[in-house]
Structure 1
Amino acid sequence: MTFFPSREPAKLKPAIATALIPILLSMPAHADQWNLGLDNDVVIGDDGDFSNGISIGWQTADDNDFSHALLPFNWQSKLLFSPRESRKQWGAKIYQRMWTPTEIGYDYAQPNERPYAGLLELESYTAAYGSQFAQKNWLSIGLMGPASGAQATQELVHKITSSTEPLGWKYQVENQFTMQFAYEADYLFTRQAVFENSDWELSGHSYSQLGNFRSETNVGMTLRWGDDLAQSFGQLSSHQGHYGQYSMSAKDSGSLTVFTRAQAGYRFNDLTLEGDLPYDSYIQLKNQQAQASAGVVWAFPNWSLSWRFDFYSKEYESDPQDWHAYGVLSYSWIM
């Protein structure tokens, strides 16, 4: 079902502006942390499937409760079932991402390939972090289709970098409004000291999201090694585009964390594959999903940098590649 016709994307801009008002009013004059994230498959030298993501967001420093949070964060925090002694955080971000077929130089429909799709989201989140248990949730509204601006982004980036010109965006998933809710919990299994202020730990996590963009549920495990892990427990996430708060617990000389993470689950729907198209598509969603990541976080009291590789299993049955990958570079700074 398409809520908005693709030939009138301009009419969707007032809806985005209206949705931004309560978020902006809730922002402090100087946000505690800003972060910029860049996802791209250029690191594997290939286009196709999840191709690019750009996010910019802010989040607060640790707080004892949500009494200082304005709407909608105070209301959203009621969805957490966290101990009183846990540290509280909340924030928001704008996130644009895109998916493309493998061959982007074709100017005709490819019914046996993943279609072009773009998504622009506005998202709020609340979280409660403890040294052994953490919870996070996210609420988002978005626009899938030409109104997301993904076509213009890819065309500009590929022009600047002299990459292959994408010619098939006229065949992208049509405009549709999206709404999502996601929830994640992390549970510590064990944490052991290695050197002074240096530990390794093993934890489990569960992650689920519900909405017309994607609905899925997953379970997995995380292995970390680094400095003062109890202070940053739960900051890693399976939620795409999320970046944790590492600077608040970082040492003046810098704190380093190395991690690997894996999960498996079941996906019920995916609008990037099942949305309305101007042609007949023959691909079918693959319900069983698996993901893995490996990376490093380097944090200082005023800024942090994260680099990781994300791997995920094929998302539609006829995909000839069993696995895909992309790199994620994230930078945060305290204001």
Structure 2
Amino acid sequence: MTFLSNPLSLSRASLASLLICTSFPTLADQWHFSFDNDVVIGQDGDYSNGFVFGWQALPRADFTLAPWPFSWQKGLRFSDPNKTVQWGAKVYQRMWTPSEIEHDYTQPYDRPYAGILELESFTGSYSANLAQKNWFSIGVIGPASGAQAMQELVHKITPSTPPKGWQYQVENQLTLQLAYEVDALAFRREVTYDSQWELSGYGHTMLGNFRSEANLGFTLRWGDDLADSFGQLSSHAGHFGQYSAVARKNGSWSVYARAQAGYRFNDLTIDGDVPYDSYVQIKHQQAKASAGVIWAFPTWSVSWSFEIYTPEYEPDPNKWHGYGVLSYSFVL
């Protein structure tokens, strides 16, 4: 397939697909940007950078007005007395690198260079104590993702250590992914007259040739009007919820902590084809934790979080890895 050798053409194709999906002006209500980067821990390596550009329709009572690309996806939900529904799409580029990016030779005992570019659709239903979400994505991992050009540009601007090993990255392969997540409230309590805290549990499952895994976790939140934003947080990479739709005029806020553990069956960033003999193997048992803060107004919101996770491959000498996520949304 010719386009796989041209990252620019694939990027344009993904953007065009997103614009086609968002050609429903009354539905494309929230736009959002997110940046993931490991600069917060002061080192390169492992998951290095991510960029999200997407939109979501503001909450509706049902899927009657949903465009056709989302019609089949809503059927993946279990029946529930939902209060509102949402749908959306995003373009997501991510990259992974070895710990030492200044080397211009292969590093068979470190994770390989890898980049992925995905176009993803999303639907979800929400109530004050139960939420269901699912995602379907199509993408490409390898040189066609454009990750090499992105990292070289960012490191040239910052300035940071120039990456010199991208010629040894995971080779081109199309990816298909389907993910499902359900959140269930355990309890919610008043802290003050104007704030609450709550504890909930969730399960997140992902199937596809890029990654397949199953996770269980819990979420602890403290803030105002938590029932109105229940389930908006997600374990799904790159997902950003709706907070402006239920925010107060003078602003709403919440802080949270999440933790999960699970089993990963496959991972193309570890076991994908590379042009050399690699001796790394996927580490199946996985754990992840995050903490963050969200500040929202009726027309915009911003969030910051810090994510940590256990090693994804063997032999990895590090006990954990981390990165920060900065997200911003605005309502049209």
Determine the structure 2 residue equivalent to 1:284: 281
The percent identity for this pair of structures is 61
CA distance in 1, matches of 2:55, 2:259: 26
Q: Which of these residues, 294, 297, 301, is aligned with residue 298 of structure 2? A: 301
Q: Does 1:10 find its partner at 2:25?
A: no
Give the secondary structure class of the aligned counterpart of 1:77. Answer: helix
Classify 1:98/1:258 alpha carbon distance in 2 versus 1 (closer, same or farther; 3 Å). Answer: same
1:328 deviates by 0.1
Classify 1:57/1:22 alpha carbon distance in 2 versus 1 (closer, same or farther; 3 Å). Answer: closer
Cα offsets for 1:83-112 (capped at 9, x unmatched): 244210000000000000000000001000
CA distance in 1, matches of 2:10, 2:36: 28
1:322 deviates by 1.3
Q: Does 1:24 find its partner at 2:20?
A: yes
Paired letter, 2:304: W
Q: Does 1:231 find its partner at 2:211?
A: no
CA distance in 2, matches of 1:303, 1:12: 31
Q: Which of these residues, 189, 201, 208, is aligned with residue 204 of structure 1? A: 201
Q: Does 1:169 find its partner at 2:166?
A: yes
Give the secondary structure class of the aligned counterpart of 1:142. Answer: strand
Classify 1:25/1:190 alpha carbon distance in 2 versus 1 (closer, same or farther; 3 Å). Answer: closer
* 1:173-188 map, 5 Å: 173-188=170-185
CA distance in 1, matches of 2:296, 2:159: 34
1:70 deviates by 1.2
CA distance in 1, matches of 2:310, 2:60: 38
Q: Which of these residues, 230, 238, 242, is aligned with residue 241 of structure 1? A: 238
Q: Which of these residues, 150, 154, 159, is aligned with residue 153 of structure 1? A: 150
Paired letter, 1:218: N
Determine the structure 1 residue equivalent to 2:308: 311
Paired letter, 2:148: Q
Q: Does 1:251 find its partner at 2:222?
A: no
Q: Does 1:117 find its partner at 2:111?
A: no
1:233 deviates by 0.3
Determine the structure 2 residue equivalent to 1:38: 35
Q: Which of these residues, 126, 140, 143, is aligned with residue 143 of structure 1? A: 140
Paired letter, 1:17: A
Does the 8 Å contact 1:206/1:218 carry over to 2?
yes
1:14 deviates by 6.6
Give the secondary structure class of the aligned counterpart of 1:147. Answer: helix
Classify 1:94/1:315 alpha carbon distance in 2 versus 1 (closer, same or farther; 3 Å). Answer: same
Give the secondary structure class of the aligned counterpart of 2:80. Answer: coil
CA distance in 1, matches of 2:281, 2:288: 19
For the aligned residues, what is the CA RMSD?
1.8
Does the 8 Å contact 1:138/1:181 carry over to 2?
yes
CA distance in 1, matches of 2:217, 2:95: 25
Give the secondary structure class of the aligned counterpart of 2:313. Answer: coil
Does the 8 Å contact 2:29/2:58 carry over to 1?
yes
Which structure 2 residue ranges, 5 or more long, are not aligned? Answer: none
Which structure 1 residue ranges, 5 or more long, are not aligned? Answer: none
Give the secondary structure class of the aligned counterpart of 1:72. Answer: helix
The alignment's TM-score, normalised by the length of structure 2, stands at 0.96
Does the 8 Å contact 1:5/1:175 carry over to 2?
no
1:15 deviates by 10
1:317 deviates by 1.8
CA distance in 1, matches of 2:141, 2:2: 11
Classify 1:159/1:12 alpha carbon distance in 2 versus 1 (closer, same or farther; 3 Å). Answer: closer
Paired letter, 1:199: Q
